[in-house]
Amino acid sequence: MTMPRLETRDVPPRTSFALEQAGVHPLLARLLAARGVRASDELDDALARLIPPAQMKGTAEAARLLADSIDAGRRIVVVADYDCDGATACAVALRGLAMLGAAPGTLGYVVPDRAIHGYGLTPAIVDLALPQKPDLLVTVDNGIASIAGVAHARDCGLAVLVTDHHLPAIVDDAVVLPEADVIVNPNQPACAFESKSIAGVGVMFYVLLALRAELRARGRFDAQSQPKLDALLDLVALGTVADVVRLDANNRRLVAQGLRRIRAGRMQPGVAALFAAAGRRPQQAAAFDFGFALGPRINAAGRLSDMTLGIECLLTDDTARAAELAAQLDAINRERREVEAGMRDQAAALLERLMPTADAVPPALNLFDPDFHEGVVGIVAGRLKDRLHRPTFVFAPGADGLLKGSGRSIPGFHLRDALDLVSKRAPHVLKRFGGHAMAAGATIAREDFDAFDAALQQVAREWLDAAALQRTLRTDGPLDLQWFNTDTVKVLDAQVWGQGFEAPVFCDRVQVVQQRLVGEKHLKLRIKHAGTLRDAIWFGRSEPLAESVVLAYRLQLDEWNGQQRLQMVVEACAP
């Protein structure tokens, strides 16, 4: 892995001082100010501080459509997606609609098989839903680009409500939306909702809030007797973090509220079972658990098996059934790790042939091997992107004979926009594409791989300069000795950190006293920092360090035999 350039975050001193004066922990005040927090009221995570649902275009119309459907006893079928955001959004939709009065037997769902159906509300997925005799299809975490699928559903006499957060399709430089009955998506034109980075599960939660208000206006219940939708926030928090969306203030409130309920023992049986399967303690739940423990287990079902397993785990109220499903998801995740490890080795060998020296790394990477597994290409692309700091696409053969690719990007290279430019310059290469700035998917014919590679490389050469191709790790500078204690870790762990609101990484010069490998691939260190001996570990690093280095590190509590020890977890180093 190429070593990053270490860059210290700027801290506005007046803002830091104002936060500290408002009662914020002094170290935390500095960290929050460096991440753009300007006032203490931004730290208020009360539900009342959420952006009102009325600001999201389409929520009022969606609420009326759903309320009318519930009142008439119409059958509602949710069209899910095969990742954690889609699975949690499906569970939130079905649980929430039932709480708000949908009669038993009027709710159902379908979820595409990644290898067979592809992504989104396609005509084939509409046909898959038809045996359930739906009157209304509700998409979650998909649908904004499903032009043909929505048209097919309407031709079949179905109403369609699209709830999504992805970017809409662009044809001839114009946004094209599906002709659904209602669309709720903060990224559609003319939507004033400020949190453009809300996840699909968050969008569905907002639709339910609007539906509850509509039913309240119809006299179904009052403010005291209305269903408590905050019971769904454990699912909202899980899907939000697992989808790696930017944790702006609104998303942080959603995640904080979900974590608070989980720590208090209030969560769906499936969420509790996933914590147990991952060996994590809900009482100490953090956003990290969603992203690296629970989320991957749900995602594994969509990658290697059937996402129905993940959705059923989140839907069941039977604790024994939840434990059984969580165990299955855990086993699939172990298999996913093995497949991923094999693909990483194949990719490494392929990279060595393509670029035998470090200075031969192109501005973008596109890899294909006929033995790659379609379900894991996104993970492998992310690992390679992290290792080489290049926009990366990894392709695998799909069941239809086409190549299915997943891409991950770096700052300064909007992946979906890059694909859009490729589609204009090479009109027949991309069969399908979509996504975000940092992650996207693409489908191409095998014979067009070289043409796609050349076109994306050209865009990368135009958009990325030498500075952009140098990985930078932003740190919070040195950590004052007074904060090297377990209380500091507890203060930091109580916050919501994640994409766009990164967890603190400190940077100090140390002397390496001892170093040894543990588990054959992790570097265990004994270091001297400001005259004090400390423990540190660098996961995934096997090469020894020089005697004097600058370490970028996180603070962590390491538990062993019931004892807690402070440990530095190394992220990078510099001479």
Per-residue confidence (pLDDT) for residue 341, from 0 to 100: 92
* Separation between Cα atoms, residue 472 and residue 4, nearest integer Å: 5
- Between helix 200-217 and helix 233-242 the angle, nearest 10°, is 150
H helices of 117-164, in order, are 123-129, 147-155
* Separation between Cα atoms, residue 205 and residue 98, nearest integer Å: 13
Domains recognised in the chain with CATH numbers: 5-43+472-574 (2.40.50.460), 55-267 (3.90.1640.30), 355-463 (3.10.310.30)
* Separation between Cα atoms, residue 196 and residue 306, nearest integer Å: 30
Per-residue confidence (pLDDT) for residue 558, from 0 to 100: 83
Residue type, 526: R
Per-residue confidence (pLDDT) for residue 359, from 0 to 100: 66
Residue type, 350: L
What is the widest separation between alpha-carbon atoms in the chain? Answer: 75
CA dihedral for 59, 60, 61, 63, sign (positive or negative): positive
Q: What is the pTM of this model?
A: 0.93
Three-state DSSP state, 12? coil
Per-residue confidence (pLDDT) for residue 544, from 0 to 100: 94
* Separation between Cα atoms, residue 304 and residue 300, nearest integer Å: 6
pLDDT lower than 70: segments of the chain: 1-2, 356-359
**354-394, pLDDT tens digit by residue?**
776 656 789 999 999 999 999 999 999 999 999 899 999 99
What is the DSSP annotation of 291-324?
A: IIIIHHHHHHHHHHS-THHHHHHHH---HHHHHH
